[in-house]
Structures are given as C-alpha cells and as structure tokens.
C-alpha cells in the first residue's frame, strides 16, 4: 500500500527523512481492526517526529500521521481516536502512545487501530472535516470545555491564531458562548481570525482593553509573559503545547498575588471525541481547512507547515 513514512530524523532538515512509497499492509493484533483511510490531517506532531522529538530510533521506519477518518471493515464511516491506551481516560495512561509513535500511523491507504478507538462519523461531516478532529480540535475542545473552568460570556485570549488548535479554539469558543480574542504576528491571519469568530484581534504582546478570564496557550516562550499579564485575578492559563520553545517558569509572585492558575491539557478521550463530533453536527461549526492534497503530494503539505504558511488544517486524501 502507498504510505508516507519517516525513515530518518534530522532536527535541522526534517523533510530529509520524509519518504513516500510502498509499505507492507498493516499487521492487525487481537482486538484491533483495519480502517480504509479516506482523509488524514497533518499535525505538528508529524513534523516533530521527523525532527527526532518523541520517537525512538529503533521504531524507524514508521508510517506518520495521527488523525484519520475512513471506513471500517464492516463498512461503517468512522473517526479514529489516535491515543492508544487503557482506562476511562486513555490520555492519563502512563504507557499511552499516539499512532505513529509505537504503531504505524494514518498517512497510508489503510491503518490498524484498536476497535475501541473508533468513533462513529456523523453523516453530515465530510471525511476531510472529520479527519481534523482527533488531535487539534479534540485538544481545543478539552482546553475550553474541560480545563478552562469558564462560564458563558467569559473572555478568552487565544495566542497565535493560525494553527489547527488555535483556529479550533476560536471557532469552538465562539459557538460555546465565549467572547474570543486572538493574537497573531500576521495581519492576514488576524483578519482571518476575525472572520472565524474572534471579536477582537491583536498583535502579539499588545496591551489589551481589559484583562481576560482565560488564556489558551499553544505558543510557549514567545507569548508566555503576555499570557500572564493578560489574566484577571483568579484567571487561568490552559497550556497544550509550545511551538515557539519551552514554556518558561511562571512569575510566581504574580501567580500568587493574583491567584492565577496554570493548567496543562492533553488531547481528549474517545468519549470527548464522540461528543465533539456531535457538537459539530448540532452547531454546524466546521474545521478550517487550509488545503486538501492527495497523499502523493504530502511533501508539499509538510513544507507548508514547516514554513508556517497555513491557516487551519492541511488534509491528505487518497486521491
């Protein structure tokens, strides 16, 4: 079968290890099944794997890709939850992994996954939209509706509008009844964020009209000080990543004096993925897709992500 594989890692030239071509059919352990992939979404995780982050060298070569939507062996349209683990919350299993870390991922014609990892795809969602949910959109859903502790009408600052998680935070937050503000270095991306539902947009580090109830932080080092300064007393920063570098230590004096809280967040559970799919079906909210490419042109998608030339998600299809 055709697949997109990491064959080597290079922190300075990650695309050097990106290999497109034939791979063996997936092995299917007991309790697992095979999904014919119709669409798969690109994440920063895939680029980090090519850089050598979070992957053991003895796992190479490995098929890349965490997210997918497709058809199972019984002909059902499904979304693949990419966290391989046990327990009610797989994300808290200390032995958990994502597809493409220990097991081959979704950038292939077919992928093997545990049966318990399949979630029904609503018929109103396209495969391309459904493929965006398991990582970026599920992370945003958990950040907003599980970790942030917000009430309807709360003001939420989204740092770094443009990526998959950030665009999901804006769209979901608006649909959930929050007042969404967003930052971006790019004037074009700020305008796109406004069109997506952000009430106000700002340059990074800008002085805000007022302090906010919560900050959604996926950027890290470049925005961390601004995130702390932007919070109301008792506010909360929800952190799910750091694309600009590690999150620096908190300003403990400010945190203590203003009674701020900093909460880490991971991808959501399989049950939260099911709820997210239903939420999108009911509200009509859809993921922002920057571009759809055939799997054979995956290198172009990786190059765009590496250069930061995207707004929303990049999706690969079989054709």
Name the helix (H) or strand (E) containing 239: strand 231-239
309: pLDDT strictly greater than 80: yes
Tell me the percentage of the chain whose pLDDT exceeds 70: 94
Give the pLDDT score at 253: 53
116: pLDDT strictly greater than 90: yes
Q: List b or e across 226-249, with b for residues whose CB sees 16 or more CB atoms inside 10 angstroms.
A: bbbebbbeebbbbbbbbbbeebee
Name the helix (H) or strand (E) containing 261: strand 261-264
Under the banding of pLDDT at 50, 70 and 90, the label for residue 296 is very high
Give the integer Cα–Cα distance in Å for 265 and 140: 9
In this predicted model, which residue has the larger pLDDT, 191 or 241?
191
Give the pLDDT score at 261: 76
142: pLDDT strictly greater than 90: yes
Average pLDDT over residues 24-30: 95
Give the pLDDT score at 140: 96
Mean residue pLDDT of the chain comes to: 92
Average pLDDT over residues 259-288: 90
Give the pLDDT score at 248: 61
Give the pLDDT score at 92: 87
CA 211 to chain centre: 26
Average pLDDT over residues 193-209: 96
Q: How many other CB atoms are found less than 10 A from the CB of residue 23? A: 20
Give the integer Cα–Cα distance in Å for 128 and 289: 8
Under the banding of pLDDT at 50, 70 and 90, the label for residue 278 is very high
- Check residue 9 and report its DSSP letter: -
| Selection from 47, 281, 280 nearest residue 168 by Cα | 280
Specify the range with the lowest mean pLDDT, choosing from 139-153, 172-186, 239-253. 239-253
Give the pLDDT score at 254: 58
Give the pLDDT score at 275: 97
258: pLDDT strictly greater than 60: no
Give the pLDDT score at 221: 79
């Amino acid at each position: 079968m055709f697949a997109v594989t990491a064959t080597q890692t290079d922190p300075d030239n990650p695309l050097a290890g990106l290999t497109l071509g034939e791979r063996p059919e997936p092995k299917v352990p007991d309790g697992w099944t095979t999904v014919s992939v119709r669409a798969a979404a690109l994440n920063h995780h895939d680029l980090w794997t090519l850089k050598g982050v979070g992957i053991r060298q003895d796992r190479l070569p490995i098929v890349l890709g965490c997210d997918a939507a497709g058809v199972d062996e019984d002909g059902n349209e499904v979304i693949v939850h990419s966290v391989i683990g046990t327990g009610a919350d797989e994300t808290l299993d200390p032995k958990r992994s994502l597809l493409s870390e220990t097991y081959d991922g979704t950038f292939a014609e077919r992928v093997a996954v545990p049966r318990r990892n399949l979630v029904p795809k609503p018929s109103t969602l396209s495969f391309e939209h459904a493929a965006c949910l398991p990582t970026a959109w599920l992370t945003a859903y958990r950040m907003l509706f599980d970790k942030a502790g917000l009430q309807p009408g709360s003001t939420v600052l989204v740092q770094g509008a443009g990526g998959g998680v950030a665009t999901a935070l804006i769209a979901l937050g608006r649909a959930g009844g929050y007042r969404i503000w967003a930052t971006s270095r790019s004037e074009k991306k700020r305008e796109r964020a406004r069109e997506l539902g952000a009430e106000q947009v700002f340059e990074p580090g800008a002085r805000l009209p007022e302090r906010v109830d919560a900050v959604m932080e996926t950027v890290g080092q470049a925005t961390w000080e601004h995130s702390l300064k932007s919070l109301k007393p008792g506010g909360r920063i929800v952190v799910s990543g750091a694309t600009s570098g590690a999150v620096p230590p908190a300003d403990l004096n400010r945190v203590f004096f203003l009674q701020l809280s900093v909460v880490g967040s991971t991808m959501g559970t399989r049950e939260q993925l099911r709820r997210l799919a239903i939420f999108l079906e009911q509200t009509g909210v859809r993921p922002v897709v920057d571009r759809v490419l055939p799997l054979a042109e995956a290198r172009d998608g990786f190059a765009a992500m590496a250069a930061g030339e995207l707004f929303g998600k990049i999706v690969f299809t079989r054709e």
